[in-house]
Structure 1
Amino acid sequence: MNTLLTIDERNAVLLSMAKLVEEERESILKANKIDLDNYSGEDLAMEDRLKVDNSKIEGMVHSLKHLASQDDPVGVERFSFTHENGMQVYNKTASFGTVMIIYESRPDVTVEAAGIAFKSGNKILLKGGKESLNSNLRIVELWHRALEENNVSPNWVEYLQFDRKQTQEFLASPNQQVDLVVPRGGERLIKFVKDNSSAQVIVSGRGNNFVFVEKNADTDIALDVILNGKTGKISACNAIDKVLIDSALPNKEEFLKQLQKALSDNNVEIIADKSLENVEGSRPVKSEDEWYEEFLDYKALIGEVDSVSEAIAKINKYSGGHSASIISRDDKAAKKFMETVDNAAVYHNASTRFTDGGQLGLGGELAISTDKLHQRGPIGLQHLVTNKWYIHGNGQTR
């Protein structure tokens, strides 16, 4: 295991990296253009994640500077007591050691997720997708410059240029220490990593998020939340795919017309469950599989339920365990929904697009976990640590 860098060393590297990303903006954009030109364009969501523009560069720089300003997450005392025999007992946060991040098409992960893992005192192994290779290699060159500028070994950030078979072999039997693996991508990637990794895996799971328009909903809020969740960013794991409408919604037919028009105006394909098959321009659900599917596309499936309990049951059956929102003026119904829906983030009268480390006050995220251990939802700087017991005695035996 690497000797832990001091907090001053880690912060200095992050600030150097922020400066280099800003200075080398054009070379990053140029490398990314090669990746974009090489990409087939067959997957809209992947292309969206692959593209780096000035706004994404600014996000990278902001993220690095913000990380450098945050407190050290390592060595934080969580618990202490004096044993009856006089020993002093402490529990403190500790770095994992080496974190491997496997990801698809997102060059910003090479900056932001790596930055969070580095600030948390970890060595970083990066394995990006072939579609973003030029962008990733350019950014890793900048990491190595930032490390060397501060007299820190470039080995703290390593890029693994492996094909699928090499990746599979490395996961199963790594030739160096790997303490934690974080897959960032679709279900196929996550399954591949879980099936092959000999190290602990944090699952950054699928979205397939739901909005439930309860009978006491403000339908203007419902329309805004659904449109924002569906069309704001189709490649995001916090996007909306499913809309459940309470059969007792007083103005249901009028709301459905407004929703149909708003979605159609934004080129969203509407899939209607059997009770709503009269929605204009919609097509029926092909099979139950579509209820489970994360679309990452301009598609929305609309269904009808007769109660809050039925909505909860449907979400708990089909969703990815990520995010769900209830639109309602009834606080009691909202409380029941929020306490019973088994998702990492639950919303009342707000968009699921806020399930994001930056938006939820963490300053950024390594991933959004749909696992329940060791952290659920956005994994920020303070969560990317394990813990360690420190016991001080003067000869005590048991």
Structure 2
Amino acid sequence: MSLLLDIKQRNALLSDMAQLLDKERTAILAANKIDMDGYTGDDIAMRDRLKVDQSKIDGMILSLQQLAAQEDPLGVERFSFEHENGMQVSNKTAPFGTILIIYESRPDVTIEAAGIAFKSGNKILLKGGKESLNSNLLLVDLWHKALEANEADADWVTYLQFNRTETQAFLEKPTQKVDLIVPRGGERLIAFVKQHATCPVIVSGRGNNFVFVDKEADLEMAIDIIINAKTTKISACNALDKVLISSNLVRKQQLLSHLIQELKKSNVEILVNEPFSGMEGTTTIEDEQVWYEEFLDYKIVIAQSSDIEEAIKTINTYGGGHSASIITANNETAEYFMNNVDTAAVYHNASTRFTDGGQFGLGGELAISTDKLHQRGPIGLQHLVTNKWYVKGTGQIRG
């Protein structure tokens, strides 16, 4: 068992790893080119997530630098109490132990997830997809160099080069202690992990996010937010899938025609419900299943809602529990919406694309949880901890 490293050692290692990434840019890009050339699938979201460029390396480096600068999340006192017999009782944050993250396509997760786990005193087992193998193996090799340079055990960061059968066997009967599993990817991956895992699982990755345009919305703002949330990064779980428009919006047709025009500039496929049926450039929804889908593609639903109550009901019925936004000039309406929509992040007059650990001031994220236990939304450094009770006595016994 690797003993917990003190905060100076953990921060020094993260800083060293950031320098290694900067030094080995050429090698990282070369390894990623092999992965990109070898990817023959037609999933544009997966291809986008797979690609590593200079900007993505900059993001990896920044994530490690921000982690190194943050306060130690361990040993933080959450509760203290002096017993009537004189014992001092306190509750403090503590590491989980070993975390397994199973993810698809994204080499930057190999840096960000491992960095967050390491800083919070947890070992991490990384199980990446075969499509990003060369990128991941190189990045894990850099982790091991940084660990060795700081006289830390290599098993703080372990890469599991398993196929699907081997992964299933490990989930059902782990060959080492695993305290928490985070599947980060599509719905099939999440279902696979939940079916076979024998320890706690935090579900991450599914979006299906909504924007509701209230009757008191600013039309220009609504269009800007919808276009940003839909088109800037279609592979992100915080991208927009569904737009609900109040039937009482005065300039509804003006909004629709302008919105459709802007979406078509990015070649977005537009599906509409019956009240908007027949509008040029759109297709009417024929299968209710569409409402449950996270598209991860240039595809969107635009539908009419009779009022805010129907909008809330629609989001809570079909949404992925990730993010929802309301566009309105009425603060009371916004508050009502935000209090009643059942998602990890709720927005008023802002794009859902901000649901991200870095954007929320967490300095990165392990994943974005749509579960309610033990953390909801972006899981940052501060959340990758459990707790432990410390009881200090002077010989007390219980009668």
Taking structure 1 as the reference length, what is the TM-score of the superposition? 0.99
Cα distance in 1 for residues equivalent to 2:138 and 2:36: 15
Task: Give the corresponding residue for 1:168.
Answer: 168
Paired amino acid for 1:363? G
Give distance in 2, aligned partners of 1:279 and 1:344: 33
Task: Give the distance between the partners of 1:287 and 1:263, measured in 2 at CA.
Answer: 22
For 1:276, the equivalent position in structure 2 comes to: 276
Inter-partner Cα distance in structure 1 for 2:263 and 2:41 = 23
**Who is 1:147 aligned against?**
147
TM-superposed deviation, 1:315: 0.2
- Are 1:377 and 2:377 matched, yes or no? yes
Aligned-pair CA distance for 1:200: 1.0
User: Alpha-carbon deviations, 1:187-240, whole Å to 9, x = none?
Assistant: 111111111111111111410000000100001010000000000100000000
Q: Is the Cα contact below 8 Å between 2:2 and 2:153 reproduced in 1? A: no
In the alignment, residue 59 of structure 1 is paired with which amino acid? G
Runs of 4 or more consecutive aligned structure 1 residues displaced over 2 Å after TM superposition? none
What runs of 5+ residues in structure 2 fail to find an aligned partner?
none
State the secondary structure of the residue aligned to 2:112.
helix
Q: What is the 5 A alignment of 1:312-323?
A: 312-323=312-323
Provide the residue aligned with 2:193 in structure 1. Answer: 193
Deviation at 1:6, TM superposition (A): 1.1
Deviations 1:46-92 (A, max 9, x none): 00000000000000001111111111101111110101111100100
Measure how far apart 1:5 and its partner are.
Answer: 1.1
SS of residue in 2 equivalent to 1:204 = coil
Equivalent position of 1:43 in the other structure: 43
Residue in 2 that maps onto 1:32: 32
> Which residue identity does 1:109 align to in structure 2?
V
Deviation at 1:360, TM superposition (A): 0.8
Pair 1:357 & 2:354 matched: no
Provide, for residues 11-33 of structure 1, a one-character-per-residue CA deviation record: whole Å limited to 9, x for no partner: 11111110110000110000000
1:278 CA displacement: 2.3
The residue aligned with 1:260 is 260
Report the CA distance between 1:279 and its aligned residue: 2.0
Quick one: distance in 1 between partners of 2:87 and 2:2?
29
Q: Does 2:2 correspond to 1:2?
A: yes
Structure 1 SS opposite 2:279: coil
Between the two proteins, what is the percent identity of the paired residues? 66
- Counting only pairs closer than 5 Å after superposition, residues 296-307 of structure 1 correspond to structure 2 as 296-307=296-307
| Structure 1: gaps (5+ residues) | none
Q: CA deviation at 1:387?
A: 0.2
One-letter identity of the residue aligned with 1:361:
G
2:278·2:284 contact (CA, 8 Å) conserved in 1?
Answer: no
C-alpha distance in 2 between matches for 1:255 and 1:97: 52
Q: Which amino acid aligns with 1:2?
A: S
Please list, as runs of the form range in 1=range in 2, the aligned pairs for 1:219-230 lying within 5 A after superposition: 219-230=219-230
CA distance, structure 1, for counterparts of residue 163 and residue 344 of structure 2: 33
CA deviation string 1:91-130 (max 9, x = no partner): 0000001111100000000001110011000111000000
Mapped to 2, the partners of 1:260 and 1:392 lie a distance apart of 66
* DSSP 3-state at the match of 2:255: helix
Amino acid corresponding to residue 93 of structure 1 in structure 2: T
Aligned 1:14-163 pairs, distance under 5 A: 14-163=14-163
Number of residue equivalences: 398
* CA distance, structure 1, for counterparts of residue 138 and residue 2 of structure 2: 25
2:101 partner SS: strand
TM-score w.r.t. structure 2 length?
A: 0.99
State the Cα distance separating 1:285 from its structure 2 match.
1.1
- Aligned partner of 2:235 in structure 1 is 235
For the 8 Å contact 1:2–1:97, the answer to whether it is kept is no
Equivalent position SS for 2:135: helix
Q: Secondary structure at the match of 2:357?
A: coil
Asked if the contact 2:100–2:126 (Cα under 8 Å) also holds between the matched residues in 1, the reply is yes
**In structure 2, the residue corresponding to 1:181 is in which secondary structure?**
strand
Q: In the alignment, which residue of structure 2 is the partner of 1:179?
A: 179
Aligned partners of 2:196 and 2:233: how far apart in 1?
A: 31
Q: Distance in 1 between matches of 2:298 and 2:202?
A: 28
Query: Secondary structure of 1:222's match?
Result: helix
* Counterpart contact for 1:75–1:93, Cα < 8 Å: yes
Q: Could you tell me how far apart the structure 2 residues matched to 1:378 and 1:261 are?
A: 33
The Cα of 1:2 is off from its aligned counterpart by: 2.7
Measured on the aligned residues, the alpha-carbon RMSD in Å equals: 0.8
